[in-house]
Amino acid sequence: TSELPNSCIAPHRMYLQQILEACADGAVRLARFLYCDSSGLIRGKATAMPGLEARLTDGIGLTRAMMAMNQLDHLQPVVGAGPVGEVRLVPDLSTFSVLPYVPGTASFLCDLLTPDREPWAACPRGFLKRMRARVADAGFHLQAAFEAEFILARKVSDGSYEPFDSTCCFSTIAMDQAAPFVDDLVRSLELQFLQVEQYYPEAAHGQHEISIHHAEALRAADNHLKLRDTIRGVAWKHGLYATLAPKPFPDDVGNGAHLHFSLWDAAGKNVFSDPDKTYCLSDAGRHFLAGVLAHLPGLLALTCPSVNSYRRLLPGWWSSAYAAYGPDNREAALRIASPFWSDPAGSVNLELKPCDSSCNPYLALGGLMAAGLDGLERKLEPGEAVEVDPNLLSSSERSAHGIRRLPQNLDESLNALERDELLTDAMGPLLTEAYLAVRRSEATLFRNRETRFELDSHFYRY
Ligand code: GLU
Ligand code: MG
C-alpha cells in the first residue's frame, strides 16, 4: 500500500542486497537475531550495521546453555547444553522485517547451527524443519495459524497489574477504548507483511484477540513469534502492558493461542476436505485428528507447557479440559471448524484449543505434526465426535464415550511426554532432555510458592 515505506520489501523477494538497502532506508542501526527457547521465551542478540553482512553468513555465537535456561534464568544441568561450547544464531533471510514499533531496529528469526554448520540437535526450529520434511515425504504440507489472545493492562502502585478495561465480550466500547493501540498494532503487523484476519475484544476484562492468515507451518511459527513481540511492543509504546500468559487473572477467562491446521497436497488441494464425509472431514483428516487426540497428553507438554497453563485448562472456560473432538465444539480439545460458504473445500480445518502462547511454537507445531502423521500412517480412528458440551455429561457418560480429562498440571503432561516415545523420538535425545529439564525445573520452582509469584513471573514473560 502507499503507506509502506521503501524499507519494506515482501519477504519472498528479499535478497541480501535488498536487506542491506532496506536497513539503510529504514535507518536501521541494529538487527536482532532471534530464537525461541525451551521456556517459550523469545530471546536474541543484535548486530550493528557494519557487521551485518558478514553475520548473515557467520551468524552470532550463542552459548549452548541457553536451551537449558528456564524462564527465571536458572540454568539446568544438561550434558551438551552447558557453559562449554557454542552454537550460532544463523538468520533465515526470508524472516527479515524492519520493526515498526521500536526505533532503528530490524529482526530475523534464526536457526541454531553447530560450528560445523549442521542443525544443532536442540534447535526447536530445526525440529520443526525435520517434521516438515517428514510431512513432505508423505506428499503434504501443513498450513497453520495461531490465534493470539492477550490482556491489555496497566501497572498499579503496588506493582501488580490491572486490566485496561472492564467491558464486555465483542463490545464496541472496548473497541473504542483500545482503538489507538489496535490501529497501531494492525499497522505494525501489516508493515511486517503479516496478513491480519480478524480483531475483537474477548471475554476477559482487557482481553483482545487478533488473528493472522494461515501459512505453511514454519512460517506460521515464525509469524506467531513476530505477533507476540509486536503485541507487547506496540502496547509498551502506548504505555500499556500486554500479556499473552495463559491465565493472568485466575478469576477471569484465560488467554489461548488456538492452533488451526490443515494438510495440503502438492496439487494445492486441502486433503482435510471431503464434502461427502461427516462434517466434511476426509478420511485423512479424521486419521490425522485421531493421531493428535491419541498423543494429546504428551503433546500438551509442548502446547500448554507452563505452570500457568493449567490454571486455564478448566471445564467451563472455553479452553477445553477433555480429550474430545466435535464440530464447532468450543469445549472440546479439537474442534472441526465449519467451512466458509465462499470456499468450502479450502476452509475445512481443525482447531486445537489446548494451546497457549507460553509454548515454543516450533515445538508445538512439530509435535502436532509428528502426532498427526502417526494417526495418518496407522489409520487411527478418533471414536465418536462429541456434539454436546462434555462438561454436561456425567463422568460415567464421559468414560462410555472414551472422553478423558486432559493432564491437570505440568508434571502430569511432562510425564506423559516422557512416556510418549513417538514424540520423544521425533524430538531426539538432546532436545527432549533439555526441554524436560527446563520445564520440570519450572514445575518445581512454582510448586511451593504463592500464587502471586507464579502470576507475576508469567505475566510479562509471555
Ligand atoms: N479464551 C478462551 C481460551 O482460553 C477461548 C475463548 C474462545 O475464543 O473461544 O481458550
Ligand atoms: Mg478467542
How far apart CA 34 and CA 73 sit, in angstroms, is 17
The upper half-sphere exposure of residue 366, i.e. CA atoms within 13 Å in the direction of its Cβ, equals 28
Residues in the chain: 462
Q: How far is CA 86 from CA 35, 59, 67, 112, 409, in A?
A: 15, 11, 11, 10, 34
- Which ligand is located closest to the Cα atom of residue 204? 1
Burial class of residue 326 in the structure, from the number of CB atoms within 10 Å of its CB (0-12 exposed, 13-18 middle, 19+ buried)? buried
Q: Which atom of ligand 1 is nearest to the CA of 246?
A: 4
Q: What secondary structure letter does DSSP report for 248?
A: S
Of 35, 41, 34, nearest in space to 71 by CA: 41
Non-local CB neighbours of 397 within 8 Å, separated by 6+ positions? none
C-beta separation of 208 from 158 below 8 A: no
Residue-level pLDDT at 1:
33
Q: Which atom of ligand 1 is nearest to the CA of 209?
A: 8
Pairing relationship of beta strands 42-48 and 30-36 according to DSSP bridges: antiparallel
Distance 403 CA to ligand 2 centre (A): 23
Non-local CB neighbours of 116 within 8 Å, separated by 6+ positions? none
Of 232, 173, 227, 225, nearest in space to 201 by CA: 173
Q: Ligand 1: which residues within 6 Å by Cβ?
A: 149, 202, 253-254, 256, 312, 318-319, 330, 353
- Is the whole-model pTM more than 0.85? yes
Distance 421 CA to ligand 2 centre (A): 32
For the record, the C-alpha cell of 76 comes out as 539446568
Distance 383 CA to ligand 1 centre (A): 25
Measure the N-to-C terminal CA separation of the chain; round to a whole number of Å: 31
Phi, psi of 220 (to 5 degrees): -65, -40
For a mutational test of ligand 1's pocket, the pick from 151, 170, 310, 317, i.e. the residue with the most ligand atoms closer than 8 A to its C-beta, is 317
Q: What secondary structure letter does DSSP report for 81?
A: S
Q: How far is CA 365 from CA 131, 377, 415, in A?
A: 9, 18, 20
CA nearest ligand 1 atom 6, residue: 318
Residue-level pLDDT at 14:
56
Tens place of pLDDT for every residue, the chain, 462 residues? 334 344 444 444 457 888 999 999 889 999 999 999 999 999 999 999 999 999 999 999 999 999 999 999 999 999 999 999 999 999 999 999 999 999 999 999 999 999 999 999 999 999 999 999 999 999 999 999 999 999 999 999 988 899 999 999 999 999 999 999 999 999 999 999 999 999 999 999 999 999 999 999 999 999 999 999 999 999 999 999 999 999 999 999 999 999 999 999 999 999 999 999 999 999 999 999 999 999 999 999 999 999 999 999 999 999 999 999 999 999 999 999 988 999 999 999 999 999 999 999 999 999 999 999 999 999 999 999 999 999 999 999 999 988 999 999 999 999 999 999 999 999 999 999 999 999 999 999 999 899 999 999 999 999
For the record, the C-alpha cell of 218 comes out as 514454519
